[in-house]
Structure 1
Amino acid sequence: MRFALSAFAALSLSSAAFANTLESSAGALNITPMVTGLDAPWAVDFVPDGGFLVTERDGDLIYIADGTATRVAGVPDVAARGQGGLLDVTVAQDFAQTREIFLTYAKPQSRGAGTALTVARFSEDGTALENSREIFEAAPGFSGGRHFGSRVVEAQDGTLFVTIGDRGNRPSAQDRSNHNGAVVRINRDGSVPDDNPFVGQSNVQPEIWSYGHRNPQGAGLDLEGRLWTSEHGAQGGDEVNLVQRGANFGWPVISYGEHYGGGRIGEGTEKAGMEQPAYYWDPSMAPSGLMVYSGALWPEWRGDIFVGSLKFDYISRLDGGGVTEVEQIEGDATSRVRDIVEASDGSIWFVSVGDGAIYRITPG
């Protein structure tokens, strides 16, 4: 079924008519709406032969190309409650050969819901998902609608990283018999890579790559192929982390935040055997999507980390060397930034939940 999103026809008249400009350390930036009228958009990614895919949390996958928006059929059933629903979309590196895409979502389970990952073929006509296969499902047994993560990142070696939150059950992030509060790593067919750190250990989920995370809603590779995440803290203590094989990132034993009702979390801010964040925000800015920039259009930003803020309505730019916030890019369009990605031409695209829109940033 093909349909027009609200304001989509107006967008086709002239993108320049809707662009606005804001200032940055690299000069003026043009902010152009690519589509508006979306309902709780969560993620965006690009189809190499043209157009882009957008997820809406209630369960719709939308393909936008050549002035037409298509609601894609064949999306898995999702548990669209609380923070759950249809979450990330990532187009496979070998899409030109396989036409495969990856989706993460909150999957209904017997006692609630859990983060799951499906791979499917995107049909030639852009209307449906074909040959869908669920290749990962978090261990069941957790209810509630909080902290599903969830990003899927394809590593340079073709393995897949999936981020999972603690589901609002703090101690479970230290319990490796479940997948909560973990970054998991699997092969493209859903099998477990032999070099995962906990393979063969009893009562440990073998997919776990790192653990002790609270709610990592942003993830991306840097220019060296290393995985970075952005993670919600509690009250204070939002983090950016360089994810390492087998590492324990401490939640909820250590944190730079505090309980929402006040009071220290766990044992303080550090403990032997637990990783420190590469950077943290206090007060919380509610980080979501994360992207490391190539420098294609703004060479001075090469290697810098961009993170969207859901709470304070800006895009944070962190220096990729010292990993400290050096700039906040903000304007009318940066309302509850959920996702941020780089297109093949070097432009930066972001998802605004507040506006129900996808915006494109180019030099002014």
Structure 2
Amino acid sequence: MALPKTFMVSAVLAAFVIHPAAQAESINAGGRTANPTLPFTAQAIAEFNTPWAIGFLPDGRLLVTEKPGRIFLVTQGGQKAEVGNVPDVAASGQNGLLDIAVAPDFATSSRVYFTYVEPGRGGSRLVLSRATLSVSDSSVTLADRVAIWRQTPAVGGGQPGGIIAFDPQGSHLFLTVGDRMQPASAQDPSQARGKVLRLNLDGSTPADNPHAAKGGVLGQTWTTGHRNPYGLAFAPDGRLWLHEMGPRGGDELNLIEAGRNYGWPLVSNGDNYSGSPIPDHDTRLEFTAPAVYWTPVISPAGLTFYAGALFPQWRGSALVGALSAQSLVRVSFRSDGQPDEAERWSMGGRIRDVAVAPDGAIWVIEDRNPGRLLRLTPANRRAG
């Protein structure tokens, strides 16, 4: 599928290097088994009520969201301070308070971005908000909070997406939007469902988006045809990767490139929950196939790329949390850019998010109440 001319001429998007080989084959990693022998030590730092996302501040403190509607500022030692001025959320099923991301210029702006499902007439909607994290000796609060993007129209259902990623230049924001359990909407260009959006940091539409001139949802759309995307991150080489949950089978890891259509619900490497088949990606070559898929599913949630010092052998790898597989998954990349699952470790619980601290430690959270915040360091590392 040819890339839009807007993409080809934009200097801003030069970091998105295209590696055709990365889409040359779809590898099914679903049959892999988890290793019970862990190469890391997991230290429980704190507990939360159904935690959903981790965001690291430059000084090593963490912001942790709870799906029912709270945010905490957490020290490396586990001290928790609840953050004030959090909006009301529609917390039920898969919906609630979702992702949180620290702005690229946080050191000077103190800004954070977060997503949540908002209650309202006609149904709930996904919202992206921005605020200034105000920290004093006595309180932590979201100051100057403003919603910079709202899903329109409002709609019920789960599968909200809501994952935030900033481009390597720190000048644009990417946002995943799930299909809200209305599969056909993922192929409707007028609906902000089943899409990856590209926005300016104030929520407006970048002029060099593929269809910016058409305005509306289409103007903000970067890619389409997604089901339930709960992972979005840039690799060290500047490429953008997304994972999404399939139905019965067909969890996907996709290389995200401007203007592409990833096929849901017209194609999938899984089947409908009813058991009825869905055509595979190789039957419709106009749709971009996943680089890796998982059948049986792992239910991926959380995605980060490792570039730290504590696990040097994993630099450049993607780390993926797995809910139903109750695992942490490492994805490595061949010299031609093709990814594949390299290792899977049994964590004994549903892993909702994974993040890397400034010191190179890996942090994960469990999807339960109470859900533990765990710090992972090399198993053979000596204390002190």
What TM-score comes out, normalization by structure 1 length?
Answer: 0.88
- Residue 207 of structure 1: aligned partner: 220
- Residue 331 of structure 1: aligned partner: 347
CA distance in 1, matches of 2:309, 2:284: 40
Secondary structure in 1 matching 2:107: helix
Query: Compared with structure 1, are the counterparts of its residues 270 and 74 closer, same or farther at alpha carbon in structure 2 (3 Å cutoff)?
Result: farther
- Residue 350 of structure 1: aligned partner: 364
| CA-CA distance at 1:292 after TM superposition | 1.3
CA distance in 1, matches of 2:74, 2:229: 27
How many residue pairs get matched? 337
Q: Does 1:83 align with 2:94?
A: yes
CA distance in 2, matches of 1:120, 1:268: 40
Asked if the contact 1:110–1:140 (Cα under 8 Å) also holds between the matched residues in 2, the reply is no
Q: Does 1:228 align with 2:244?
A: no
Q: Which has the higher contact order (CA 8 A, sep 6+)?
A: 2
Aligned match of 1:277 in 274, 290, 300?
290
Asked if the contact 1:113–1:140 (Cα under 8 Å) also holds between the matched residues in 2, the reply is no
Structure 1 runs of 4+ with >4 Å offset: 266-269
What is the identity, as a one-letter code, of the residue corresponding to 2:253? V
Secondary structure in 2 matching 1:173: helix
- Residue 109 of structure 1: aligned partner: 120
- Residue 31 of structure 1: aligned partner: 42
Asked if the contact 1:198–1:204 (Cα under 8 Å) also holds between the matched residues in 2, the reply is no
Secondary structure in 2 matching 1:131: strand
- Residue 41 of structure 1: aligned partner: 51
What TM-score comes out, normalization by structure 2 length?
Answer: 0.84
What is the identity, as a one-letter code, of the residue corresponding to 2:347? G
Asked if the contact 2:249–2:271 (Cα under 8 Å) also holds between the matched residues in 1, the reply is yes
What is the identity, as a one-letter code, of the residue corresponding to 1:353? D
* CA shift digits 1:174-228 (9 cap, x unpaired): 0010110001111111110011111123775311110100010111110022221
| CA-CA distance at 1:172 after TM superposition | 0.3
| CA-CA distance at 1:251 after TM superposition | 0.2
CA distance in 1, matches of 2:264, 2:318: 23
Aligned match of 1:138 in 151, 161, 164?
151
Aligned match of 2:79 in 59, 68, 82?
68
Aligned match of 1:96 in 98, 104, 107?
107
Asked if the contact 2:250–2:295 (Cα under 8 Å) also holds between the matched residues in 1, the reply is yes
Q: What is the root-mean-square deviation of aligned Cα atoms in Å? A: 1.8
Secondary structure in 2 matching 1:289: strand
Unaligned runs of 5+ in 2: 1-35, 380-384
* CA shift digits 1:234-290 (9 cap, x unpaired): 000000111111110000011000011211125764413210001000011111101
Asked if the contact 2:281–2:289 (Cα under 8 Å) also holds between the matched residues in 1, the reply is no
| CA-CA distance at 1:231 after TM superposition | 0.3
* CA shift digits 1:316-347 (9 cap, x unpaired): 11112231112111233xx1100011111111
**Structure 1 stretch 203-212 or stretch 163-172: which is displaced more?**
203-212
Identity of aligned residues (%): 38
- Residue 148 of structure 1: aligned partner: 160
1:230-245 residue pairs with structure 2 within 5 A?
Answer: 230-245=243-258
Asked if the contact 2:161–2:229 (Cα under 8 Å) also holds between the matched residues in 1, the reply is yes
CA distance in 2, matches of 1:215, 1:338: 14
Asked if the contact 1:176–1:203 (Cα under 8 Å) also holds between the matched residues in 2, the reply is no
Asked if the contact 2:232–2:243 (Cα under 8 Å) also holds between the matched residues in 1, the reply is yes
Secondary structure in 1 matching 2:277: coil
1:9-24 residue pairs with structure 2 within 5 A?
Answer: 23-24=37-38
1:150-299 residue pairs with structure 2 within 5 A?
Answer: 150-157=162-169, 158-201=171-214, 205-266=218-279, 269-299=282-312
Unaligned runs of 5+ in 1: 1-21
Asked if the contact 2:52–2:98 (Cα under 8 Å) also holds between the matched residues in 1, the reply is yes
CA distance in 2, matches of 1:140, 1:159: 24
